[in-house]
Amino acid sequence: MENFWLTSAIKALSYVYDLLTFPVYLVLQRPWEKRKLSRRIKARPVAKDENKITYRSVDPPKPMHVTLERENIDTLEKMLTWVAKVHNEKICLGTRDILAEEDEVQPNGRIFKKV
């Protein structure tokens, strides 16, 4: 019987908390705007075949996409090289010396290398 009262008290407190914070949530989060954005048309089909459909975004390209296209960056290696060139004055990437390598046998028989 003691658990029943405790559970009921917790439910009542959470209900009161929900009633008090719901208007604040509505004012700050504006969920209707997010719902409207999620329901909008984001892409349109441009080509249909028997086996595939190609979609094109309806949004204009963002500045970063335009820059990547202009610089002809289409692989991850080109991306990393370009980022290192653009942000060469910033400290953003580091390396470590390998001090030791150790094989660790797991209980299931697999071997992991610890570096």
Per-residue pLDDT of the chain (115 residues; tens, 9 = 90+): 678 888 999 999 999 999 999 999 999 999 999 999 999 999 999 999 999 999 999 999 999 999 999 999 999 999 999 988 988 888 766 777 888 888 888 888 888 888 8
Helix axes 31-39, 2-29, angle to 10 degrees: 70
Is the pTM of the predicted complex or chain greater than 0.85?
no
What are the beta bridge partners of residue 103? 113
Helices (H), 1-115: 2-29, 31-39, 63-70, 76-86
Q: Report how far residue 82's alpha carbon sits from residue 75's, in angstroms, rounded to the nearest whole number.
A: 11
The tokens describing 9, both together, are: 């008290």
| Residue 104 Cα distances to 15, 40, 99, angstroms | 52, 52, 16
